[in-house]
Amino acid sequence: MANVKLAVIYYSSTGTNYQMAKWAEESAKENGAEVRVVKAPELAPEGAVASNPAWKSHLEETKDVTEATSDDIEWADAIIFSVPTRFGNLPAQMKQYIDTQGGLWASGKTVNKVVSGMTSAQNPHGGQEATLLSLYTSMMHWGTIIVSPGYTDPVLFGAGGNPYGTSVSVDQDGKMVEDVEGAVKHQAKRVIEIASKVVSG
């Protein structure tokens, strides 16, 4: 396979999507990719973060993770986004990051990037599919090549069987309900395989 540069761009308030991003990184590296894991900048007011101990703790634990910039998109051959759902849509932190990439989009630098998405919510029908479809709508405007997992491996069924991208439910204690590690790693591997073909021409 051709060498692929993958940007895993995530937003995570309490750690679920950070963990998914790290699993994607691990799989991509195992499949020969060069990987950057970067986070969308936090926009929430300090009071909101401070009122949730898990949020405050995770923000502190990941303070050394590099914040995503336009350079990460321009550098990458492929991008995996990992975000929680917010009322069936992207969280404001990731939406703003995407919305500020107009310069890259206008100059054609988002075209033919291979893109895939992952998400989480507090219950299986909490907007997971809608969130990924919302992400992919923006990615169509960017001219990217969307690579969903579909039903390309049995591991996806054990993770809930979301064909749009790996999604996970999170209980009241912040623990993942479904076992999605294998699905995340398969999705990342699939992204690298397709991106390799695109890079090779």
**Per-residue pLDDT tens over the stretch 86-137:** 999 999 999 999 999 999 999 999 999 999 999 999 988 899 999 999 999 9
Closest CA to 82 of 51, 114, 38: 38
Taking residues 21-48, what's their average pLDDT? 97
**Phi, psi dihedrals of residue 131, rounded to the nearest 5°:** -65, -45
Which domains, from first to last, does the chain contain? 5-200 (3.40.50.360)
What is the H or E stretch that residue 154 is in? none
Show Cβ contacts of residue 137 under 8 Å, excluding neighbours closer than 6 positions.
none
Residues 115/81, Cβ–Cβ less than 8 Å: yes
Residue 20 reports pLDDT greater than 80:
yes
**Reported pTM:** 0.96
**E-state strands within the chain:** 5-10, 34-39, 78-84, 114-121, 145-146, 167-169
Residue 37 reports pLDDT greater than 70:
yes
**Residue 124: what pLDDT?**
86
- Angle at the Cα of 130 (from 184 to 98), degrees rounded to 5? 75
Taking residues 22-44, what's their average pLDDT? 97
> What is the spatial distance between Cα 124 and Cα 69, in angstroms, rounded to a whole number?
31
